[in-house]
Amino acid sequence: MTSQTPITPTADQIRRAPKVLLHDHLDGGLRPGTIIDIARETGYTQLPETEPDKLGGWFREAADSGSLERYLETFAHTCAVMQTRDALVRVAAECAEDLAEDGVVYAEVRYAPEQHLEAGLSLEEVVEAVNEGFRQGERTARAAGRRIRVGALLTAMRHAARALEIAELANRYRDHGVAGFDIAGAEAGYPPTRHLDAFEYLKRENNHFTIHAGEGFGLPSIWQALQWCGADRLGHGVRIIDDIKVEDDGTVQLGRLAAYVRDKRIPLELCPTSNLQTGAAASYAEHPIGLLRRLHFRATVNTDNRLMSGTSMSREFELLTETFGYTLDDLQWFTVNAMKSAFIPFDERLAMINDVIKPGYAELKSEWLFRQTATTSESAPEGD
C-alpha cells in the first residue's frame, strides 16, 4: 500500500457516509436561531442570549459542567419554546433536515411528551405534531436529494410518575411514527425499577424500549435496566467499563454483567462528547468506546444532544477517527451495528444495511483508487 492510500477518511467522506443515529434528543438538537424565533413569537423572555451564535455557545458552555444534573438544567430553555403545535412541527422538521444534511439515513429521535403540555396541548397532540414535523423534514430532505427515515422514541422522565401513561402512548402510536420507548433524566436516585409497570406493560405488548443507564450512575443501573426491566438497548451504558478489567499484560477480564452485555449483543448507545460534558468519561482518548469496539461489544455512536454538545454524527465520527485512527471499515461497523439495533422490522433493517449502508461505504472506499490513478498519471514521466 502506498502513502497515497487514504486510510483515514476525510471530513468530507465522513459527511457523505451513510450514518445511523439511535440516540438523539429532539429537545437537545434545536437550531439556536429557531429557539430565538420561537421565543420571540411566544413571548418567552428567559433566554440567556438573543443572538444565535452566542446562544449556541451558551448551551455548550452551560452543558460542560461535569455533572449530569447541571447538564439537564439547560433543557428548561429548549422545552420552553416547544409548547405549541407550530413550534413542535418546526423543530421536528428542522431536526430531520439537519440530520439528512449531515448524511444520516436512519434516525430514532426521542423526546418526552409530558414536557410539552404547558400551553395546553394533549399528549396525543404533541406526538402528532412531532410526527408531522418529521414527515415534513423527510420530504424537504428528499426534495434536496437526500433520503432519511426518522422514527420517534417516546421518553418518560425518570423523576416523574407518568411512565406507564407514556408507554401506553408509545404503544398506541406504534405503527404511526413511534418506534419505541425510553426513560431519561437524572439517573442517581432514580433507578429504572421505579417504572417497572411501564416496562412490564411494553413487554406484554411485544414493544421495544431503551433505558438511559450507566451514564450518571454505574453498574447497578445497567444491571437493573437489563435484568429487572428487560431493556432492548442501553442509553449510554458506557459505565459497563467498570466491569471490565485490563491486566498489566493487556489481557482483559469481563465480569458477569459485561460478559452478558457482550454475549447477548446488547446495543450500547454511546455518546462520546456528551459523556465528556457530564463527566462520564475524562477524554476522547480515554473514552471506553475504544476498548468496547476492540472487544466487539455491540457499540454504536450517537450524538445525544447536538445543541448542548455542538456536535453532529459526522463530528462524532471525525473525533473518533482522529482519536483511534478509525477507517471507513470501522465507521461502517458502527453504522451496521446501529442499524441492526434499530426498532424497525428485521426485513427493513436488513434492506437498509444491504441496499443503503454497504453500497454507500463501498462507494467511498473505492475513491482512493481513482485519486491514486489521477496522481500517478500526473507524476508519470512523459513517454513512459
Could you list the residues that contact ligand NOS (CB under 6 A)?
Answer: 25, 27-28, 68, 72, 75, 79, 110-112, 115, 155, 184-185, 212, 215, 274, 304-305
Using the rule CB under 5 A, is 316 a contact of Zn ion? no
Q: Please give the angle made by the CA atoms of 66, 225 and 304, to the nearest 5 degrees.
A: 40
The answer to whether the annotation marks 176 as part of a ligand binding site is: no
Closest to ligand NOS by CB, 69 vs 367, is: 69
**Scanning the structure block, which residue is given the C-alpha cell 458502527?**
334
Residue 34 interface partner, choices Zn ion, ligand NOS, none, CB cut-off 5-8 Å depending on type: none
Alpha carbon separation from 342 to 51, 58, 235, 353, 354 (Å, rounded): 37, 33, 13, 11, 15
> Cβ closer to ligand NOS: 22 or 72?
72
Are β-strands 244-246 and 233-236 bridged in parallel, bridged antiparallel, or unpaired? unpaired
Residue 212 labelled as part of a binding site:
yes
Q: Which residues pair with 134 in a beta bridge?
A: none
CA distance 179 to 149: 12
Give dist(CA 305, CA 311) in Å, integer: 8
Provide the minimum distance between the beta carbon of 277 and ligand NOS in the complex, in angstroms, as a whole number: 9
Which C-beta is closer to ligand NOS: that of 116 or that of 146? Answer: 116
In the bound state with ligand NOS, the residue whose beta carbon lies nearer, of 202 and 234, is: 234
CB atoms within 10 A of CB 374: 10
The residues assigned a catalytic role are: 215
215 binds Zn ion (CB under 5 A): no
Q: Is 208 annotated as a binding residue?
A: no
Residue 114 touching Zn ion (CB under 5 A): no
Is the CA virtual torsion 22, 23, 26, 29 positive or negative?
negative
164 binds, among ligand NOS, Zn ion, none (CB under 5 to 8 A by kind): none
72 binds, among ligand NOS, Zn ion, none (CB under 5 to 8 A by kind): ligand NOS
Taking the C-alpha atoms of residue 63 and residue 57, their distance in angstroms, rounded to an integer, is 10
Under the binding rule (CB under 5 A), the answer on residue 102 touching Zn ion is no
The C-alpha atoms of residue 120 and residue 183 are separated, in whole angstroms, by 23
HSE at residue 121, side-chain half, CA atoms within 13 A, is 22
Q: How far is the CB of 39 from ligand NOS (least distance, A)?
A: 17
Query: How deeply is 325 buried, as exposed, middle or buried, from its count of CB atoms within 10 A (0-12, 13-18, 19+)?
Result: exposed
Helix (H, G, I), strand (E, B) or coil at 284: coil
Of 98 and 304, nearer to Zn ion (C-beta) is 304
102 assigned binding-site residue = no
At closest approach, how far in Å is the CB of 238 from Zn ion? 11
Does the annotation flag 29 for ligand binding?
A: no
Q: Identify the residue whose cell numbers are 473514552.
A: 287
* Residue 302 contact among Zn ion, ligand NOS, none, beta carbon within 5 to 8 Å by kind: none
Q: Which of 114, 304, 316, 318 binds Zn ion (CB under 5 A)?
A: 304
304 is in an annotated binding site: yes
Could you list the residues known to form a binding site for substrate, using ranges. Answer: 25, 27, 185
Could you list the residues known to form a binding site for Zn(2+), using ranges. Answer: 23, 25, 212, 304
